[in-house]
Amino acid sequence: MMSNPNPRTEEAQRLEAARHSLAHLLAMAVLKKFPSAKLGIGPTIENGFYYDFKLPKAISEEDLRGLEATMRALVGEKLDFEGEKVTAAEAKRRFKDQPFKLDLIKEYAKEGRELTVYRSGNFTDLCKGGHITNTAAINPDAFKLTKIAGAYWRGDEKKPQLTRIYGVAFTTKKELDEHLAALAEAEKRDHRRLGEELGIFMLSEKVGAGFPLWLPNGEIVKHELQEYLRRKEVAAGYRYVSTGALASGALYEASGHKKYFKDDMYRLLDIEGKELFVKPMNCPHHHVMYQKLVQSYRDLPLRLAEPGGIYRNERSGTLHGLMRVRGPITQNDAHIYVARNDLEKEFAGVLGLLKEIYRELELKNYWFRLSLPDFAGKNKAKFGGDKPLWEWAADVIREAAKRSGIEVVEAPGEAAFYGPKLDIQMQNVLGKEDTIATIQVDVLVPKRMGLIYINKEGKEEHPIVIHRAIVGSYERFIAFLLEQTAGRLPFWLAPVQVAVLTVSDKATRYAEEVFRNLAARGVRTALEASADTIGKKIRASELQKIPYLLIVGEREAQSKTIAVRERGKGDLGSATLAEFLRRLPGH
């Protein structure tokens, strides 16, 4: 058994000990139900604990209630936890029927660690301690087993797959209830669930893990967002380009990606004796274009933009809906080639554009991380080039951030292999932190790839490159957007903006007329003229989070009006179509 380090306060420490002890009780309950179960490990985690088991048969959520009842009974038995030091030989004897424990004993013995076992009732576990003294200290109403998942022994997919049972535990029942309510809300906002309900995307085993399929509604959202970014970027002086999905290995050799990024890239078989890779990044392609487009300082800054689809070899265990995919990862990518003296101005320009876009998209809960090299850490070999140049670049970022009124958290060791970067961090509904967007300063690759321009003095110089993706990848960004808005996308992004619903078939012809009128004006409109009741149609449309519902019955057909309902506001009364159109953003 392992326990999490650093519980801060005394109460937190008590709760931590209770969670740890509950993991033991879970193992006891499982052994009672399945005496032949094999035990893995059972650590505490945020808000609770888990335990891994090899079970003789699959279990369901319903079994969890039975296990919980057994655990509650064990709490009532007021069992003591008693520890004892043992030798490796003694430990091996006691756990002779527990192969995973034997694995651990062997490993600990090799490391020369002292072995301890803890007994509660008739159950003994290999464990380094950190329990309550008696189960009477556990509140039987403040814990719950929450879910079942698969997990490989030691996280290694070549080893046996175990059943992981998760639980949460708190000091009071009220805290437990609040936690469960927050969890249910988070689940409702989970982009994988919303993506399914709103017809945004799907995943299919037939296609393969990590390759999402954008459904018609999702393609609309992605397309509208891309168009929006394109308008903003073109107005800010970016020039759009496009590049292909494959490239020669020599290109990535030159850029350094083959050296630093090889495990993340998909390599194709040698073709006509040449090695090919699936594009893992757009930069090298843009760098090649730079060599065609730039001769002198007069051609700078050059801002090349591309919603470029790239592919990365992500581990299957890390894939997560649209948040983490293998491809295409459609980056909102751009590279800005700039003379040294203009770096700060250009960097501040990117920050200004980012702030404007995030404000317009009403994004909340994000923060800035300045990712720096760690020249003393164990990965120091990752950060190439000369140190003063890195420090200069980091200072430029600090200065640009300060001027833009942005606070940054510094993170040594998180830099790219070619320079420091400013990452925009955000938390998903499950509490996991991810980088949503990034602005990076590249002090290395321009030199490595021989990018030059003639400066004012007629001398050759290397530009600095800013790699930036203001909304990161469209996949991850839309996942965040779905979670932040709970699927209530703003009008301009909504796949269906207006639904026309008929009260009875006497209004069908008029409803069709309204529908055609809206569609002709470019409003994404749906017509719902089935025989279902109007109540049912309204509920179904509300579940689709459609911004406006127009309800038409016989009365509306006669008076040539519509009854308007707005998402989140309800009934707005009746209006003519012209009045309604004036209300719509951009119409």
335 annotated among ligand-binding-site residues? yes
Closest approach, Cβ 453 to Zn ion, in A, equals 19
Query: Is the CB of 179 or the CB of 467 nearer to Zn ion?
Result: 467
Rounded Cα distance, 2 and 56, in Å:
25
- Residue 457 parent element (H or E): none
Query: Which range in 139-147, 275-283, 393-401, 547-555 contacts Zn ion by CB under 5 A?
Result: 275-283
Query: Is the CB of 438 or the CB of 544 nearer to Zn ion?
Result: 438
Query: Which range in 215-223, 281-289, 427-435, 509-517 contacts Zn ion by CB under 5 A?
Result: 281-289
Query: Which range in 47-55, 102-110, 280-288, 349-357 contacts Zn ion by CB under 5 A?
Result: 280-288
CB 114 within 8 A of CB 85: yes
Which token pair is 413?
Answer: 């060791």
| 499 makes contact with Zn ion (CB under 5 A) | no
Q: What's at 177, amino acid-wise?
A: D
| 394 makes contact with Zn ion (CB under 5 A) | no
DSSP conformational letter for 380? G
Q: Which of 127, 169, 449, 451 binds Zn ion (CB under 5 A)?
A: 127
Closest approach, Cβ 304 to Zn ion, in A, equals 10
Closest approach, Cβ 18 to Zn ion, in A, equals 12
Closest approach, Cβ 290 to Zn ion, in A, equals 12
Query: Is the CB of 49 or the CB of 214 nearer to Zn ion?
Result: 49
Rounded Cα distance, 526 and 529, in Å:
10
CB 221 within 8 A of CB 490: no
How many residues of this chain bind Zn ion (CB under 5 A)? 4
Query: Is the CB of 254 or the CB of 575 nearer to Zn ion?
Result: 254
Query: Which range in 67-75, 175-183, 382-390, 462-470 contacts Zn ion by CB under 5 A?
Result: 462-470
Rounded Cα distance, 28 and 48, in Å:
17
| 467 makes contact with Zn ion (CB under 5 A) | yes
Query: Is the CB of 419 or the CB of 487 nearer to Zn ion?
Result: 419
Closest approach, Cβ 284 to Zn ion, in A, equals 8
**DSSP result, 277-342:** EE-S-SHHHHHHHHHHH-SBGGG-SEEEEEEEEE-----GGG-BTTTB-SS-EEEEEEEEEE-GGG
Closest approach, Cβ 255 to Zn ion, in A, equals 9
Q: How many CB atoms lie within 10 A of CB 55?
A: 17
Q: Which of 71, 86, 251, 283 binds Zn ion (CB under 5 A)?
A: 283
Rounded Cα distance, 443 and 219, in Å:
37
State the first-to-last Cα distance of the chain, in angstroms, to the nearest integer: 63
Question: Residue 328, preceding bond cis, omega within 30 degrees?
Answer: yes
Rounded Cα distance, 184 and 187, in Å:
5
Active site residues: 283, 312, 331, 333, 335, 421, 467
Q: What's at 480, amino acid-wise?
A: F
Closest approach, Cβ 10 to Zn ion, in A, equals 19
Question: Residue 160, preceding bond cis, omega within 30 degrees?
Answer: no
| 126 makes contact with Zn ion (CB under 5 A) | no
Rounded Cα distance, 148 and 529, in Å:
43
Residue labelled with tokens 């689809």 = 309
Which token pair is 581?
Answer: 């159109």
Closest approach, Cβ 283 to Zn ion, in A, equals 3
CA distances, 480 to each of 181, 198, 330, 438, 483 (Å): 21, 15, 15, 15, 5
Query: Is the CB of 107 or the CB of 505 nearer to Zn ion?
Result: 107
Rounded Cα distance, 427 and 365, in Å:
8
What is the Cα Rg of the chain in Å? Answer: 30
Rounded Cα distance, 442 and 283, in Å:
11
Rounded Cα distance, 482 and 493, in Å:
11
Kindly give the interhelix angle for 387-403 and 343-360, rounded to the nearest 10 degrees: 50
Query: Is the CB of 214 or the CB of 277 nearer to Zn ion?
Result: 277
Single out the residue of 333, 280, 286, 278 nearest to residue 308, CA to CA: 333
Task: Build a one-symbol-per-residue string for 85-124: x at contacts with Zn ion by CB under 5 A, - elsewhere.
Answer: ----------------------------------------
Task: Build a one-symbol-per-residue string for 225-264: x at contacts with Zn ion by CB under 5 A, - elsewhere.
Answer: ----------------------------------------
Query: Is the CB of 81 or the CB of 214 nearer to Zn ion?
Result: 81
| 1 makes contact with Zn ion (CB under 5 A) | yes
Query: Which range in 87-95, 218-226, 459-467, 570-578 contacts Zn ion by CB under 5 A?
Result: 459-467
Query: Is the CB of 117 or the CB of 325 nearer to Zn ion?
Result: 117
467 annotated among ligand-binding-site residues? yes
Which token pair is 50?
Answer: 């888990």
CB 290 within 8 A of CB 260: no
Closest approach, Cβ 127 to Zn ion, in A, equals 3
Query: Which range in 362-370, 404-412, 425-433, 460-468 contacts Zn ion by CB under 5 A?
Result: 460-468
Rounded Cα distance, 308 and 332, in Å:
7
Q: Binding site: residue ranges?
A: 283, 335, 467
Site for Zn ion, rule CB under 5 A: 1, 127, 283, 467
Binding-site sequence positions for Zn(2+): 283, 335, 467
